[in-house]
Structure 1
Amino acid sequence: MFHVRLKLSAAVITAVFAPSLQAQQESSSTSSPDNTKSVVASPIKPVVMPRIDVIGSYENLKTISGSADVLDKKTLEASRVFTVNEALRKVPGIHMRDEEGLGLRPNIGIRGLNPTRSTKVTLLEDGIPLAYAPYGDNASYFHPPIERFDHIEILKGADQVRFGPQTIGGVINYITPAPPEKFGGHIQAIGGNRDYFNGKVQIGGKGLLLDFTHKQADGARDNLHSEIRDYNLKYVLGLTDSQALTLRANYYTEDSQLTYSGLTTAEFRNFGARYNPFRHDKFNSGRVGVSATHDLIIHDDLMLTTNLYFSRFDRDWWRAASTTTDSQCGSAFVTARNNGQAVDVDTCGNQGRLREYYAWGVEPRLKYNHNLLGVKSNLDFGFRAHYETQDRRQINNAQFDPTQNGLRESNVRETQAYSWFLTNRFNLGQFTATPGIRYEYIDYERKNRLTGVSGNDNLDAWLPSLGLTWNPSQLVTFFAGAHRGFAPPRTEDVIGTTGTSTDVGAEKSVNWEVGARAKPLEGVDVQASFFRNDFQKQIAVGSIAGGSTPLAQGETLYQGVEFASKVDTILGVYLRTAYTWLPTARQESPFTRVDTGAVVTGSASGNRLPYAPEHLITAAVGYAKQGFDAQIEAVHVSKQFSDFANTVGSTVNGQAGLIDPYTIFNLAINYHYQPMRTTLFFMIKNLTNDVYIVDRTRGIVPGMPRLIQGGVRYTF
């Protein structure tokens, strides 16, 4: 039998190795003295695994000075989430905007921030940067399938300065399963309408875990279809009594028939929400990632954890139009679309946006429990050296013929980033106080290979923080925190094609919140917080391909309330609620163009910011007993504006106009037959088959129609 022999103090294990919050409550009876337990009650015991947790164990909540949520394995499996969008909607404060319908390019907005491409969120996997260019181009054109993960940690507030570089909205840390000691695994198959198939195999033992997922489906519109393959390997090795090593490798591919342009208002009216004439458009991508995490116990109160990582991501997106106003196919083509007439894409040109991204880095983190100032304290210190290279080309062809070579763009963008953070938690009886500081230094370089012109620039930022908690009893924690927010500009925003620098700078905001967590009754968990994000400068990056939206900046204010609750009764009935009220998402000053200083069309003080709905509600009621689990979930998104001008009526091109509120219902039924170690499940997404709009940035984009799915899982 494989064992990792680590002589770790209980305090260090709690801070670093403990699994999810739900596991801490539900599986305590299966825990061993060294805390090496399964994420759910299971005879297959996982090995201890070096990993950076954002939240960690249930006990850590008493000292976390911000909103903290964990989507545990039980919640993800019982609701049979189809995409990462479905999963993260269960957390208050998060606005998930659909795109192609499969969650392959998630748009995550936290506390009112624009969700486009998830640019204001720090995404991690096992504590390691997941984005392919978090400093130079933090846009999500890739996301692993939700099936890869065991649970998800979401942290907002002052404590997020330990991560980064984005420290405004929050940190999302996806946790992969721990390899088991004993041989075991599972096989799963799901099928449904819209050509949906999801096959998964997971097998492991003796510290090794292998995982494969194949997933395919039609998207939310005609002529959209995606297939992905995800291979994942993880191996945990005990080196000595005081050292352990986790090795990871991942290979991901996507082949999609996928357009970029939305619909005009007339197309939506005449042909319906599923219409999409761009049948030749395609998106192909691949990602290779490897990483290693090493743990060294220097002594009982001192631990060093080091991450070393590398990833390569490439994506080729060939398309006939990027927006409803794209004139690549000619002015007559655009006019026909605006008039709601059918168009022939065979006469269009073919534009290829070809990208390769390389990212690598090293990040040691030190934890030290001490009493140097006469107070029991926990010090965290970390340093990151991170490097990125973007190889970007654009080819415009007269027809859909990739052999032609109308090269319009060829440049290399390089980013070097160095950061460090230091926090110290003072434990003062019922109180904790955690002052912290983070420093970011970023060096940008861009070279235009067509002209030979290059340019470089740099910026740095100091990000202080302070977090407080008060635990008047074992059942209640009050928390408060304030910190400086930061999000670096993209390389292309800082340095233009001619090599000149633009004084963009980083976003500047002061973010704070106050709240409470409580367990007032057995089986009841609640959390509520009030937040305020005050931007002295918020950067509005052009979200439409081709730069048709100018880079702009302005003063903004976001403030609101988050509430989450979980209720489990002895009768088997359970309730889950996540509610966000955002009464304020306001432009405090008109947004102005960075390059010219001109006011962006329609922007004005007092206007509401786009894609910031006032109300977000996800609520579920279910019944679970003796292997049976059924639940119905409601997801409500209130109305939202799609431009700075707060345009109400839909514009001709569909890119501006009020997005009406919508509510969709999801049903999930599970039955686990223990004698055969088999689970059967049945799901309906968008139960009432509502037609609703989710996005207008490139034209009207609808949400997914009704999906009916069924599957089986066998565990061995």
Structure 2
Amino acid sequence: MLFAVLSARSGDLKGKVVAADCGASMSFVSVQVGEIAHGYSDESGMILLTDIPSGVYNVSITTLGYSKIVLASIEIGNSVTDLGTLRMEPMVTIMDPFEIVYVRPPYSHHYNGTSNVIQEEELRKVQPLGSEELLKKVAGVNVAGDMGISNRLNIGIRGSYPRRSEKLLLLEDGVPIAPAPYLSPSAYYNPPTDRLDGIEVIKGADALTMGPNNMYGVLNYITKKPALKPELRASLTGGQRGYNSQFITYGGTWKNLGAELQVLNKFFDGFQNNTSSHIFNATGKVYADLSDRSTMYMKVNYHQENSKATYSGQTPLTFALDPVQNPFDADDLATKRYALDMIYKYKLSDNVVLTSTGYASQFTRDWWRQNTTLILANDVRGYVGEDLFAEKYSYLQGSFTNDDYVRVGRLENGRESTKARNRLFRVAGVKEELEWNYSINEDLNGTLLVGLNAHTEQFFNQEIVNDSSRFSRSGEIVKDQKYLLSAFSGFVKNQITYKKLSVSPMLRYELVNMRKFNLLSIASDPLNDGSKNYGAINNSFGQMLPGMNVNYVLLDSTLNHLELYSGAYMGYTPPTSSVGFIGVDEEGSVNTSPEEENINMRPELSRSYEFGVRGYGAGGKLQGQMTVFDNTIENYYAAGRKEAFETLGSVNIRGLELNGSFDFGKLLNSNKHELILGFSCTWMQSKILSGLLKDSDLFKARHTDATKQELIDKINGERSGYSVYFANDSLIERTLTVSDFDNIESIEFGFGQGEIQNNAAPYVPNQIISVNMSYGFEGFNFGLSYSRVGAQYTEYLNFENETAEGAIGKLEAYGILDANIGYTFKSKSKIIDGMNLFVAGKNLLNEIYTASRLHRVSSGIMPGGFRQINAGIIFNL
């Protein structure tokens, strides 16, 4: 209970505050008694203010997002004055829509199709290193790590290629956060989990209302809201490998205004040598209920990262000898992000709400990466010299085979060198959404949602080389490009509900114009007339995307809900800057260097279907969701790293997602004990249906006898699917032997009927399973989770064996065990009350596994994170 501080002792005031729309208790609601007493409702919504001087007062009940309650002439006497149950009516608001509910299911009612929600409580208990640690427990999500702490997100949803999550739409509070959502959607910025209240994963047709890259799924980060009760809060964490984090927040709610400032400083030495990371993030936000009809939200964010982020992984030899080794001390990544988001909601009438959103961001990514080469282990000492060998490679002792390679810094004129890939992105946009809730009769009603979005992007891309020192940070500009994009989109969704049946047809349209400027060529062109668009290369396209959801509610009460749902839609991923300026002829053959008039690259499109059941029951104890999905992707070009379809391809990915939990504490009717068992399971199957593909890394890899024989066996097993070329582009159609391998210069792979018929897409494991347990008793909590990811291929040829540098080969299955323990104090002391002590353990069994080969020949093996133990304290100041 929260108590007012006052000078005279007389009567008490009590009551309870609940939400009028759902009846749920409302915590930390402000209670003002005249000018002399003030307090807040407690966590169960109860009000108790004591020692109020006798008199007659006006009592005001206020909180953000709800209409103010004013009780006039309340008499306080010598006994307890009971206000009874006070029901607060919601206003139009931007506050988190799943904040006040009886039951928190693992999905969101705000979406008609499949969704998953990670709640704030899980974030607080688990204390994750990054968002990948949370997302690996979500059905349908596959994490392909690169030894970081999720600074650059690498996940796939329903079989999407996971490198930099570039096939997904990434949002923060509904606003796009990728450096350039159309031109360069790679996740080089990922919000730190410290400042999150939750994560939504949206996979169904609802994605059509959210933006581009809606084919596989949408990730929406929900950031922390200002506290209802003003407070200064600190979270301090420390752990192995120099991990330390300081997160300080101050904020609260004052009448109709909520504001908060968040500052995060985080440092980590990294799981390998020379992979340290330092992050500074500052966020300011303001919520304001301007009137009963309007509300405003503004957020300003600054993010800075300075990391020794490497692009170079390990070879099978170095991974086996010592997975901690990384010799590249000159890799430097520096990013800065400035962002401003504003959202304004206005209630035009009782049934119509207009939401206006404006956003702008600038993101810079300067990445100096050491130039590397592959050397036989027996030759490393002679290549790098005694000094470098003693400093970086002394673990290479003994004799090695001709399949044992090591990545070392490439020497030029006796010196190691670096190359910069520096990028600048600017994004801005405005979005208008109109929501109309209408009713035709008692049984038939609906919600019409209409949205329009104007969006613009700028992308500047430079590459700089130097040969003076690997630590030099200047040199010769060898690439200088500028990309401009404007996109206009709109959607309409009409959810029509008749009794328990809802049908939601929707339609999205995108109109995109993109331009490319080769600034080096333009600068050296004597015919340059100085005009704004001189030298521009253009591509424009439009795309219509229909969709529909059908939902049927079988059971609906306060603590029990059961619902069937299905969806069908056409999703799309627009061509990025790297593929948006190529040509495709009528047969689907790709020309990577077309004349400008032949540039006509179009989006990748999908036909996506899902059917599922979700709900909660047994008085809220049992919760779950099950979905069957089937996605067929066409116009498939950008298949993966260094893999592209020369004739546009088609891929099918289907599967089953299942997740649920059961609260045994409620089963025992115990208010003190909480015991929740949960799980998520994913089964996926993928198949390349058609297309002609070329893998430019295939013969850059160092093949072993095993991978040579495997490739020859694949060719001979489905001979008509492989076009094999020897020297001088001579096509060889006979059966091959392994002795022919060294004569092969290139191979084209044809997929489909009569060619290669049963190959799977990369990074689509057949099974992903996660089980977890959470126990709580009063202030104590303990959690345990185990995640297992099945074996998965990493390229379209589906190699079982591994090449000698680690770029090609199957990833074996692996399992990770995590645990957390914590205690939250209750005390009359302001500092001690609410103080939380915690210990979080990651990969407790210290599983050493290959997490990915994301950058292929450029990197090889990217190990997963090793065992990491962190501990910390959270308290109010």
TM-score scaled by structure 1?
Answer: 0.89
Question: Structure 1's 441 and 52: CA in aligned 2 closer, same or farther, altered over 3 A?
Answer: farther
Aligned counterpart for 2:540 among listed residues 445, 448, 458: 458
Q: Are 2:498 and 1:428 aligned?
A: yes
Q: CA deviation at 1:589?
A: 1.8
The residue aligned with 1:608 is: 760
Aligned counterpart for 2:423 among listed residues 355, 360, 378: 355
Aligned 8 A contact 1:417 1:440 in 2: yes
CA distance in 2, matches of 1:668, 1:25: 33
AA matched with 1:368 = W
Question: Structure 1's 618 and 239: CA in aligned 2 closer, same or farther, altered over 3 A?
Answer: same
Q: Secondary structure at the match of 1:504?
A: coil
Question: Structure 1's 558 and 55: CA in aligned 2 closer, same or farther, altered over 3 A?
Answer: farther
Aligned 8 A contact 2:368 2:420 in 1: yes
Q: Are 2:814 and 1:662 aligned?
A: yes
Q: CA deviation at 1:599?
A: 7.0
CA distance in 1, matches of 2:337, 2:809: 36
Aligned 8 A contact 1:54 1:173 in 2: no
AA matched with 1:28 = S
Greater Cα offset, 388-397 or 401-410: 401-410
Question: Structure 1's 384 and 700: CA in aligned 2 closer, same or farther, altered over 3 A?
Answer: same
Q: Secondary structure at the match of 1:588?
A: strand
The residue aligned with 1:240 is: 291
Greater Cα offset, 313-322 or 636-645: 313-322
CA distance in 2, matches of 1:458, 1:636: 44
The residue aligned with 1:12 is: none
Aligned 8 A contact 1:457 1:494 in 2: yes
Q: Secondary structure at the match of 2:313?
A: coil
Mark the runs of 5 or more structure 1 residues left unpaired by the alignment: 1-17
Aligned 8 A contact 1:196 1:216 in 2: yes
CA deviation vs aligned residue, 1:641-663 (integer Å, no higher than 9, x gap): 11111111111221111111000
Aligned 8 A contact 1:590 1:605 in 2: no
Aligned counterpart for 2:850 among listed residues 682, 693, 696: 693
CA deviation vs aligned residue, 1:439-467 (integer Å, no higher than 9, x gap): 01110100001001430111111110110
CA distance in 1, matches of 2:97, 2:426: 25
CA deviation vs aligned residue, 1:205-224 (integer Å, no higher than 9, x gap): 23111101111112232210
Aligned 8 A contact 2:301 2:338 in 1: yes
CA distance in 2, matches of 1:385, 1:209: 29
The residue aligned with 1:397 is: 466
Q: CA deviation at 1:538?
A: 2.6
The residue aligned with 2:6 is: none
Q: CA deviation at 1:324?
A: 6.1
Question: Structure 1's 353 and 359: CA in aligned 2 closer, same or farther, altered over 3 A?
Answer: same
Q: Are 2:562 and 1:562 aligned?
A: no
Q: Are 2:544 and 1:527 aligned?
A: no
How many positions carry a matched residue from both structures?
A: 680
AA matched with 2:466 = N
Q: Secondary structure at the match of 1:268?
A: helix
Q: Are 2:676 and 1:574 aligned?
A: yes
The residue aligned with 1:312 is: 362
Aligned counterpart for 2:770 among listed residues 600, 618, 622: 618
CA distance in 2, matches of 1:612, 1:25: 41
CA distance in 1, matches of 2:406, 2:694: 35
CA deviation vs aligned residue, 1:19-64 (integer Å, no higher than 9, x gap): 9xxxx9996354979xxx9998799996239549798876995674
Aligned 8 A contact 1:55 1:153 in 2: no
Question: Structure 1's 39 and 613: CA in aligned 2 closer, same or farther, altered over 3 A?
Answer: farther
Aligned counterpart for 1:437 among listed residues 507, 512, 519: 507
CA distance in 1, matches of 2:204, 2:454: 24
Q: CA deviation at 1:336?
A: 12
The residue aligned with 1:486 is: 572
The residue aligned with 1:299 is: 349
CA deviation vs aligned residue, 1:455-495 (integer Å, no higher than 9, x gap): 01111111101101111211210000100011101023122
Aligned 8 A contact 2:851 2:864 in 1: yes
**1:540-551 superposed matches below 5 A:** 540-543=638-641, 548-550=642-644
Q: Are 2:195 and 1:148 aligned?
A: yes
CA distance in 2, matches of 1:55, 1:440: 30
Q: Secondary structure at the match of 2:574?
A: coil
TM-score scaled by structure 2?
Answer: 0.73
Q: Secondary structure at the match of 2:124?
A: helix
The residue aligned with 1:6 is: none
Aligned 8 A contact 1:273 1:702 in 2: yes
Aligned 8 A contact 2:28 2:45 in 1: no
Greater Cα offset, 357-366 or 343-352: 343-352
- Rg comparison, structure with higher value: 2
CA distance in 2, matches of 1:246, 1:350: 44
Q: Secondary structure at the match of 1:273?
A: coil
Aligned 8 A contact 1:290 1:309 in 2: yes
CA distance in 1, matches of 2:315, 2:749: 20
The residue aligned with 1:227 is: 278
The residue aligned with 1:376 is: 445
CA distance in 2, matches of 1:645, 1:40: 57
Aligned 8 A contact 2:242 2:267 in 1: yes
CA distance in 2, matches of 1:498, 1:222: 44
Q: Are 2:335 and 1:285 aligned?
A: yes
AA matched with 1:650 = E
CA deviation vs aligned residue, 1:363-417 (integer Å, no higher than 9, x gap): 0110001247994110000010000000110001113254542111001001111
Aligned 8 A contact 1:466 1:481 in 2: yes
Q: CA deviation at 1:322?
A: 7.3
The residue aligned with 2:609 is: 512
CA deviation vs aligned residue, 1:118-160 (integer Å, no higher than 9, x gap): 1121111111111121111111111110111111112111121
Aligned counterpart for 1:78 among listed residues 94, 112, 125: 125
CA deviation vs aligned residue, 1:661-686 (integer Å, no higher than 9, x gap): 00010010011112122110011111
Aligned 8 A contact 1:310 1:361 in 2: yes
Q: CA deviation at 1:705?
A: 0.8
Q: CA deviation at 1:275?
A: 1.6
The residue aligned with 2:789 is: 637
**1:40-79 superposed matches below 5 A:** 47-48=64-65, 50-51=93-94, 64-79=111-126
CA deviation vs aligned residue, 1:313-333 (integer Å, no higher than 9, x gap): 0011101137869xxx9x978
The residue aligned with 1:715 is: 876
The residue aligned with 2:863 is: 702
Question: Structure 1's 658 and 38: CA in aligned 2 closer, same or farther, altered over 3 A?
Answer: farther
Greater Cα offset, 374-383 or 450-459: 374-383
CA distance in 2, matches of 1:427, 1:670: 45
Q: CA deviation at 1:248?
A: 0.7
Aligned 8 A contact 1:47 1:179 in 2: no
Q: Secondary structure at the match of 2:317?
A: helix
AA matched with 2:848 = V
Q: Secondary structure at the match of 1:494?
A: coil
Aligned 8 A contact 1:52 1:127 in 2: no
The residue aligned with 1:409 is: 479
Q: CA deviation at 1:537?
A: 2.9
CA deviation vs aligned residue, 1:562-617 (integer Å, no higher than 9, x gap): 011121122522112111111x211112443699x997558633101111111111
Q: Secondary structure at the match of 1:572?
A: strand
Question: Structure 1's 53 and 435: CA in aligned 2 closer, same or farther, altered over 3 A?
Answer: farther
Aligned 8 A contact 1:39 1:73 in 2: no
AA matched with 1:669 = I
Q: Secondary structure at the match of 2:405?
A: coil
CA distance in 2, matches of 1:26, 1:149: 26
The residue aligned with 1:683 is: 840
The residue aligned with 1:28 is: 25
AA matched with 1:678 = M
Q: CA deviation at 1:245?
A: 1.3
Aligned 8 A contact 1:278 1:345 in 2: no
Structure showing greater relative contact order (alpha-carbon pairs closer than 8 Å, 6 or more residues apart): 1
CA deviation vs aligned residue, 1:273-305 (integer Å, no higher than 9, x gap): 222111111100000000111111111101100
The residue aligned with 1:11 is: none
Q: CA deviation at 1:696?
A: 1.1
